[in-house]
Amino acid sequence: MALQFPDFLSTYRFWIASSLFCSNLLVRYAPNYSIRHSYTWTASAAYLLCWLIYAVYCVLIYPHFVSPLRHLPNVPGGSLFNGQWSVVVKEPSGMPLRRWANEIPNEGLLRYLHLFNRERLLITNPKALAEVLTTKSYDFIKPGLVRNGLAQVLGVGILLAEGDEHKAQRKNLMPAFHFRHIKELYPIFWSKAMELVHCIQAELKPEAGVESSIEIGDWASRATLDIIGTTGMGQEFNALRDPTNELNRVYRAAFQPDRAAQLLALLQFILPSFILRSLPLARNRTVQAAAKVARDTCRRLVEQKKRRLANKEPMQPDITSVALESGGFTDDELVDNMMTFLAAGHETTASAFTWAVYMLCQHPEIQTRLRQEVHSHIPNPGPEMQITHDLIDHMPYLHAVCQETLRLWAPVPLTLRLAAANTSILGHFVPKNTIIILSPWAVNNNVEMWGPDADKFNPDRWTAPGQANAGGAVSNYAFLTFLHGPRSCIGMKFAQAEFACLLAAFVASFETTLADPDEKMEIKGGVTARPKNGLRVCLKSVPWGLSSRTELL
């Protein structure tokens, strides 16, 4: 095992104690070697010297000559002090990882160096993923910088909880996300999807055959916020009909990865989180405002539901009501989980929907084929048409387009884990506190797992016999969008059903093209991946009826 500094050596207390001890010895027994014969000056100098030695060891010696991970395949190049950090921050989240996983030979583990040459271990094959996500899932926790960065807006709900707390929360929430419950929500998903269509039509007021343009990302966020409000909390937010909706406005601002957000992301590697949050920056005020609005909204809804439960009034079958009736959550835990559902639940699906529209604009033949399938199964979208899970789930091409979008454009490009103790992956020793990178963008686009067309948008990979679930990949771990194991996304079935309903209603109602086909697509980083400048598309209403069914036949 490689020699490492013990944990306490990386804390300021040890260095202060060492500095005081050295200064005492020097001033008492070798004053000529002290600074001004002063305990304070000598201790300060000794403290700085200790930190300099430690910094040189951590940045220049340990990663290159001592680390037990140094013999793994390494990403070549990089700077002397910061490895590949500049590449990682300059490119969209996940893009460098996708490239490295395909271009650098490896057997499941790939090392690169981050800021100050801190090691990162990228997981690239099914066996390694199975260890990290399933067999040893609780050995790898979310790093403190991730928890602190997300907790303000997401709350410390199931997404950020760890260990026994996570196990208990997941157990108590599972009934709300069981498919028996999800399938009852399809009519609500469809109703909100058609409301999205009607609101867009009302804003455009298009004449027959005339195209009008919209920015689809904002509409997607408003639609998914309304859906999570109704199905997750039994609350109508009216974000679709009210563009100035406060909740939508603050969330959009909080998830906007501007320069200030990038600066704070850099500073979190240097400064404690409580200092970062206290800095008088506009970005901090934006995030804190979003957190306050979200927490106040969730607490008000919890109190309303508790009163209804105490008065034995009928409870709606939403996620929060199911969680409340389980009796397994305190009020604060309920509020935190509602914040998680609000933020993570609507932002990720909105991202997926936006990328689906972009892909369909790029591939009009796929758009036409999908529209024909929806029209053939739903010839009349009126209220007399009963939309059920059987109807939506039995559209194979809709399923294929949704899955292919989620594969190629996973809403969350990467997530981090931290080795909670000394452990191993694929037989390789992994020291405590090593940062593990799980990147859906790297895994979902891996040529070894998906074939030579891994970077192509090809829904037909999901329609071949026996490939509806895995898309023809070599392993189910090749599809990492929702992760796997005990820490997999509890809302996967919810998100897939919501996404399918939104996309089906939208594609069946509009013919969509890019407003500027020549504009270069730039991806903005952040927790979720979105088009940097939004996605502006031209829409033309299409007839919804038997004509499309005839075309299909």
Ordered by start, the domain boundaries in the chain are 1-66, 155-412+481-552
Does 489 show up as a binding residue in the annotation? yes
Strand (E) or helix (H) holding 418: strand 415-419
Q: Report the CATH fold assignment for 155-412+481-552.
A: Cytochrome p450 (1.10.630)
Q: Where are the beta strands (DSSP E) in 335-402?
A: none
Instruction: Render each residue's pLDDT in the chain as its tens digit; 553 residues.
Output: 444 544 544 566 777 888 888 888 888 888 888 888 888 888 888 888 888 988 999 999 999 999 999 999 999 999 999 999 999 988 988 999 999 999 999 999 999 999 999 999 999 999 999 999 999 999 999 998 888 888 888 888 999 999 999 999 999 999 989 998 899 999 999 999 999 999 999 988 655 455 678 999 999 999 999 999 999 998 899 999 998 888 888 887 777 766 667 677 777 777 777 777 787 888 788 888 888 999 999 999 999 999 988 888 887 778 888 888 888 899 999 999 999 998 888 999 999 999 999 999 999 999 999 999 999 999 988 777 889 999 999 999 999 999 999 999 999 999 999 999 999 999 999 999 999 999 999 999 999 999 999 999 999 999 999 898 999 999 999 999 999 999 999 999 999 999 999 999 999 999 999 999 999 999 987 788 999 999 999 999 998 864 444 343 3
* CB contact at 8 A, 527 and 340: no
pTM attached to this predicted model: 0.90
Q: Supply the DSSP symbol for 395.
A: -
Please, how many CA atoms are within 13 Å of residue 289, restricted to the half-sphere of its CB?
Answer: 16
Cα(291)–Cα(377) distance, integer angstroms: 42
End-to-end Cα distance, the chain: 67
